[in-house]
């Protein structure tokens, strides 16, 4: 739990940012900030972003809240579109994915509990800067598995 001595005010767009799968991700609150309780990440998703492969979390809960634009979400094979002000909770064990299939940018935040997911994103972003990094689906799954991501769609 965050104590009053941990209180801080963040200006807009503050936090560590990196490029991943065509999006700019900004870690607004880290696991270190919350004693490993949760992490909050802001996504700037360009038009046509294919998004994350279909996956699930066995021990992590994820909540996405759309700030601007629209986000296409698939949950257990059923598709829906979220607009500004809409959110969606992915409980543990629920297969899901998201994408920006629109012609406009989308901005959203995702809250993951427990924390630690930001470490995976930073790791993958660093690997993607290498020209020779082209992991097989199995290699990518091995990288994500320690962070409680089970990829269920290896074709993505």
Whichever domain contains 114, its CATH number is: 2.60.120.10
Nearest to 156 by CA among 140, 132, 133: 140
Establish if 6 belongs to a structural domain.
Answer: no
Closest CA to 64 of 98, 21, 19, 16: 98
Please state the pTM of the whole predicted model: 0.84
Q: Is the C-alpha dihedral spanning 81, 84, 90, 96 positive or negative?
A: positive
Strand stretches in the chain, DSSP E: 16-20, 23-29, 39-45, 55-56, 61-68, 71-75, 78-82, 87-90, 96-99, 106-113, 150-151
Residue range(s) defining the domain that contains residue 109: 11-151
Between 14 and 4, the more confident residue is: 14
| Residue 140 DSSP class | H
Is 37 part of a structural domain of the chain? yes
> What domain count does the chain have?
1
Does residue 31 belong to any structural domain of this protein? yes
In a domain, 48, yes or no: yes
Res 13 pLDDT > 90:
no
The predicted structure's pLDDT at residue 6: 66
- By DSSP bridging, strand 23-29 and strand 16-20 are antiparallel
108 SS3 class: strand
**Which ranges of the chain does DSSP label H, i.e. alpha helix?**
117-128, 137-144
Name the nearest CA neighbour of 123 among 154, 153, 147, 152.
Answer: 147
With a cut of 70, say whether residue 81 has pLDDT above it. Answer: yes
- Sorting pLDDT into bands at 50, 70 and 90, what band is 106? very high
What six digits make up the tokens of 133? 């990094």
Between 136 and 92, the higher pLDDT residue: 92
Q: Is the pLDDT score of 97 beyond 60?
A: yes
Give 156's pLDDT tier (boundaries 50, 70, 90).
very low
Q: Residue 29 domain-assigned?
A: yes
């Amino acid at each position: 739990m965050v104590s009053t001595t941990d209180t801080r005010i963040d200006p807009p767009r503050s936090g560590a940012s990196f490029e991943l799968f065509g999006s700019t991700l900004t870690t607004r609150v880290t696991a270190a900030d919350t004693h490993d309780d949760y992490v909050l990440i802001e996504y700037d998703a360009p038009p046509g972003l294919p998004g994350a492969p279909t996956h699930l979390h066995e021990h992590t809960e994820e909540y996405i809240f759309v700030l601007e634009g629209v986000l296409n979400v698939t949950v257990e094979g059923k598709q829906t579109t979220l607009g500004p002000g809409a959110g969606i909770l992915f409980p543990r064990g629920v297969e899901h994915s998201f994408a920006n299939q629109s012609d406009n940018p989308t901005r959203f935040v995702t809250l993951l509990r427990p924390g630690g997911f930001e470490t995976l994103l930073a790791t993958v972003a660093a690997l993607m800067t290498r020209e020779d990094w082209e992991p097989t689906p199995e290699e990518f799954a091995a990288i994500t598995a320690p962070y409680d991501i089970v990829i269920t769609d290896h074709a993505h």
